Amino acid sequence: MSQSVGIEGWSRRGLMRWAGGVAVSMLARVSAVRAEGALPVVASFSILADLVRQVGGDRVQVDALVGPEADAHVFQPRPADARRLTAARLVVAHGLGFEGWLERLLRNAAYQGALVRVSDGLPDPLPARGQHGHGGHDHAHVHDHGDWDPHTWQDVRNAMHAVQRIEAALCAADPDGCAHYRQRGADYRARLQALHDDIVAAWQAIEPARRKVVTSHAAFGYYARAYGVTFLAAKGVSTASEPSATTVARLIRLIRAEGVRAVFIERLTDPRLIERIAKEAGVRPSAVPLYSDALSAPAGPAPDYIALMRHNTQALVAAIRSGA
């Protein structure tokens, strides 16, 4: 015989589950109300999405096509990504050939909204083939995306340029919120200037001759130029490129000849190549990965752009100091 049970018959655990469910439901409703009317923006990858959120605040609803812990170099758009674009009023891309898949995706989605490329107007982009190391080493890697190295955000001053471009695009798409965007943009650029100054100061404690690092792929050319560090990379500018046997042998000789001790595996790359190079060169890779082209998961060490740059700088300086 069944019987109904009133609230007085519930266990404490049952009441807590019920209360928790109500709270989650209420939070979801509040979030939906807040998101309603927010400017829908799609960013090409996670680092740009963070910059848009920093400038836009609660007036924007940002969706990243390539999210945290995902590699934009090898991204393959799906039909669901085209549908995400149809709901956007603004698409924020990087440019300089970084998103080789974007133009086709925009066509497939018949996207009619605004598009901004944050690297447009950058005064001094690095060429795809040339000096990726401060110390004068020519990697001779062919840029897999075009004529220019697209990893501009590795110099914080270029991120400040991107923020200005995002601020202007948000103002154009949502004129009523322009004062809001300008204030947040100015505040964030001040934080970025402080970040840049901190990175410069961190490297001043390391003799220039010791600022040598080996990484998985050539993503740190702008960091090298801005902060006076030499980066030797196993792969080209794209994680999808594969080095020749000659390139690998030359890198091993350079590591031995120049006494490079700081060897890093990037978060999104296959570690086996760097591990083999390090073993043959007689060094050991750092246990701390670098984040080059994507943010970490929220609980990781690089959940936003500023955290990413601080994490990488601290890891690089610590490795060189310790000879790791």
- pLDDT, residue 217, reads 66
Q: Which alpha helices (DSSP H) does the chain contain, by range?
A: 12-35, 46-56, 79-86, 102-109, 156-173, 178-204, 221-227, 245-258, 271-281, 305-322
Residue range 197-226: mean pLDDT, rounded? 91
Residues in Cβ contact with 14 at an 8 Å cutoff, skipping those fewer than 6 apart:
none
The mean-pLDDT minimum among 156-160, 195-199, 281-285, 297-301 falls in: 281-285
Spatial distance between the Cα atoms of 267 and 40, rounded to a whole number of angstroms: 29
- pLDDT, residue 240, reads 47
**Radius of gyration over every alpha carbon of the chain, rounded to an integer in angstroms:** 23
Spatial distance between the Cα atoms of 40 and 100, rounded to a whole number of angstroms: 23
C-alpha closest to that of 293 among 272, 268, 264: 268
Residue range 4-16: mean pLDDT, rounded? 39
Number of helices (H), then strands (E), in the chain: 10, 7
Domains, the chain: 34-195 (3.40.50.1980), 207-322 (3.40.50.1980)
Spatial distance between the Cα atoms of 29 and 48, rounded to a whole number of angstroms: 27
Spatial distance between the Cα atoms of 210 and 72, rounded to a whole number of angstroms: 32
Instruction: Tally the residues of the chain.
Output: 324
As beta bridge partners, residue 232 has: 214
The mean-pLDDT minimum among 23-32, 186-195, 207-216, 261-270 falls in: 23-32
Residue range 111-127: mean pLDDT, rounded? 96
Q: In the predicted model, is pLDDT for residue 80 greater than 90?
A: yes
Burial class (CB in 10 A: 0-12, 13-18, 19+), 250: middle
Given the structure tokens 């154009």, which residue do they identify? 172
Residue-wise pLDDT tens digits, 133-157: 443 333 333 334 568 999 999 999 9
Residue-wise pLDDT tens digits, 219-265: 899 999 999 999 887 554 344 455 667 777 777 777 777 777 777 76
DSSP 237-258: SSTT----HHHHHHHHHHHHHH
- pLDDT, residue 237, reads 38
Name the more confident of 220 and 1: 220
- pLDDT, residue 195, reads 98
Q: In the predicted model, is pLDDT for residue 319 greater than 70?
A: yes
User: What tokens were used for 218?
Assistant: 């050539």
Burial class (CB in 10 A: 0-12, 13-18, 19+), 21: exposed
Phi, psi angles (nearest 5°) of residue 215: -130, 170
Mean pLDDT of the chain: 81
Measured N-to-C along each axis, helices 178-204 and 305-322 cross at an angle, to the nearest 10 degrees, of 0
Confidence of residue 125 (pLDDT cuts 50, 70, 90): very high
User: What tokens were used for 93?
Assistant: 């891309």
- Residue percentage of the chain with pLDDT more than 90: 58
Residue-wise pLDDT tens digits, 264-298: 766 655 567 777 777 777 777 776 888 999 999 99
Cβ(234)–Cβ(273) under 8 Å?
yes
Residues in Cβ contact with 122 at an 8 Å cutoff, skipping those fewer than 6 apart:
96, 152, 158, 161
Spatial distance between the Cα atoms of 132 and 136, rounded to a whole number of angstroms: 8
Question: CA separation (Å) from 43 to 53, 67, 96, 133?
Answer: 10, 9, 15, 29
Residue-wise pLDDT tens digits, 31-46: 343 456 899 999 999 9
